[in-house]
Amino acid sequence: MTTILITGSNQGIGLGIVEQVSKRSDVRHIFATVRDPESAACADLKRMASSSSNIHIIQLTLDEQSAAVSQIQLACADV
């Protein structure tokens, strides 16, 4: 199974990639990174994640890389 990390996932090309990749049966985890998961701009991404258990929304900024890595490690621990 494949694990994919997509940056800038709350809009535009990033959101489109999340949508397309979520349809693939060979993808176990999609880590959709955004600067602010609580922003209104994440509404479409949150809707997608609520209907697909393999989409994980991760906050990723340059100053919070270690927190993002920890969240990814926890999600992949069930492999």
pLDDT per residue as tens digits for the range 7-34 = 999 999 999 999 999 999 999 999 999 9
Q: Please check the confidence at residue 79 and state whether its pLDDT lies above 90.
A: no
Percent pLDDT > 70 in the chain is: 95
Give how far Cα 63 sits from Cα of 28, 59, 66, 67, Å.
27, 11, 8, 9
2-76 maps to which CATH number? Answer: 3.40.50.720
Residue 73, helix vs strand vs coil: helix
What is the Cα Rg of the chain in Å? 12
Q: In which residue are the tokens 């090309």 written?
A: 13
CB 28 within 8 A of CB 1: yes
Q: Please check the confidence at residue 6 and state whether its pLDDT lies above 60.
A: yes
